[in-house]
Amino acid sequence: MTVSADRHQATVLPPPRLRQSIRKNVFRWFGHHKRDLPWRRRSGEGYAQWIAEVMLQQTQVETVIPYYERFMKRFPNVEALAAASDDEVLQNWQGLGYYRRAVNLHRAAKRLVAAGATVPGTVEELLALPGIGPYTAGAIASIAFNRRAAAVDGNIARILSRLFSITDDITRPESRRRLWTLARCLLPATRCGDFNQALMDLGATVCLPRKPRCHACPLQHDCEARRAGDPMSLPRKAKRRPVPEIRHVVAVVKRDNAYLMVKRPPGGLWSGLWEFPNEQYSAKRKKPGTLRRLINRFALDASPQAQAKGTLSRRLTHRLMHFDTYLVSIPPGHGPASKGRHLRWVTEAGLGTLPMSAAFRKILALANNTVQQ
Ligand code: SF4
């Protein structure tokens, strides 16, 4: 039965019998194979699910688990998170990457507590909070609040595209709409949270991107891609365009046993984290001039010694970044004074608790010749 059509594949909703078969098989499989994850032991708690789902955005489950446990211990509820300082929140996020997620969580917690509210239970209310998109809202609403809400992430998109043989590029908006329509129509009348979690587990352990384990899949008898004999060809995604390369000069400035640290402004990449003085350069703004400008900007007088230490490259989602690193040693009594909350001299021991990105921790190791390849 066709309910909508576009220039690409039409959205054909599965007939009721097929939906029933899918639900029944998915639930039966989940009963035996459900993963034991720390946030699942608190599945009725909005706050616990919210933290887990935000951490799981762009990060693997195994990586998230220790961070989640530590974060929940330090900030056991929305009030504790709202009361924390920016630095404390970032410190407890350190190493997980995509720091904007922590900044948004903190903003949302402060907003909720100021309004005397707690984590809301509907998709619409959740979407109004910073850092929550349709997938996260659907996951929290269904798992913590038992709402009839779909949640389509990369894993679930892969299962659906194979199950229903969606051959269009799944990154296109019309394909995304189609996947969401299919996900909604598969939802059972009750236990939607379990159903969504079962699909998440199936995508993570059985319907794998490169080697789908169709022989172990509860959907094998209903799956069109398996029937066609080539599930690995799906989902189709347009080739990603090459990302721009961005180059920086970084001055790891050392005086006695302390480093000069600057805090990034709010918004943008690594918002609110601490780093070594650095400046972008390009074909027009050449590297030697950039290092000189950096030295002048931070008043690093008395002819500092700058030693080239090599280049660290980091691939982020939308860019490839290169950091040409210099260790700049200045004599005692020189250099700028610590200034408010944005410029500080920090001892080697103090760096351990300062919120910094993983890239700048590597840069420190590079400057001190302790980097491990
Ligand atoms: Fe994925 Fe194979 Fe299951 Fe189809 S049968 S959903 S391709 S694991």
Residue 295's pLDDT is: 84
Q: For a ligand 1 pocket test, name from 217, 221, 224, 227 the mutation site with the most ligand atoms within 8 angstroms of its C-beta.
A: 217
Pairing of strands 245-255, 305-316: unpaired
d(CA 104, CA 50): 12
d(CA 222, CA 214): 11
d(CA 167, CA 323): 40
Q: Which protein residue's CA is at the shortest distance from atom 2 of ligand 1? A: 214
Distance 231 CA to ligand 1 centre (A): 7
pTM: 0.83
Q: Answer yes or no: are the C-beta atoms of 323 and 250 closer than 8 Å.
A: yes
Q: Is the CB–ligand 1 distance for residue 226 below 6 Å?
A: yes
What is the average pLDDT value for the chain, to the nearest integer? 91
In our burial notation (b when 16+ CB lie closer than 10 A, e otherwise), range 2-21 reads eeeeeeeeebebbeeeebeb
Q: What is the DSSP string of 218-245?
A: TTTTT-HHHHHT-GGG-SB-PPPPPPPE
Angle between helices 86-93 and 100-114 (to 10 degrees): 140
Q: H helices then E strands: how many in the chain?
A: 15, 9
Decide if pLDDT at 320 tops 90: yes
d(CA 168, CA 239): 13
Mean pLDDT on 258-274: 90
If pLDDT is split at 50, 70 and 90, which confidence band does 15 have? very high
Ligand 1 atom nearest residue 224's Cα: 4
Which pLDDT tens digit goes with each residue over 211-256?
999 999 999 999 999 999 999 999 999 887 888 999 999 999 999 9
Q: Is the CB–ligand 1 distance for residue 163 below 6 Å?
A: yes
Residue 373's pLDDT is: 43
Cα 277 → chain centroid: 26
Cα 287 → chain centroid: 32
d(CA 113, CA 100): 20
Distance 212 CA to ligand 1 centre (A): 6
Mean pLDDT on 346-358: 92
Q: Give percent of the chain with pLDDT exceeding 90.
A: 75
Distance 32 CA to ligand 1 centre (A): 18
Decide if pLDDT at 323 tops 90: yes
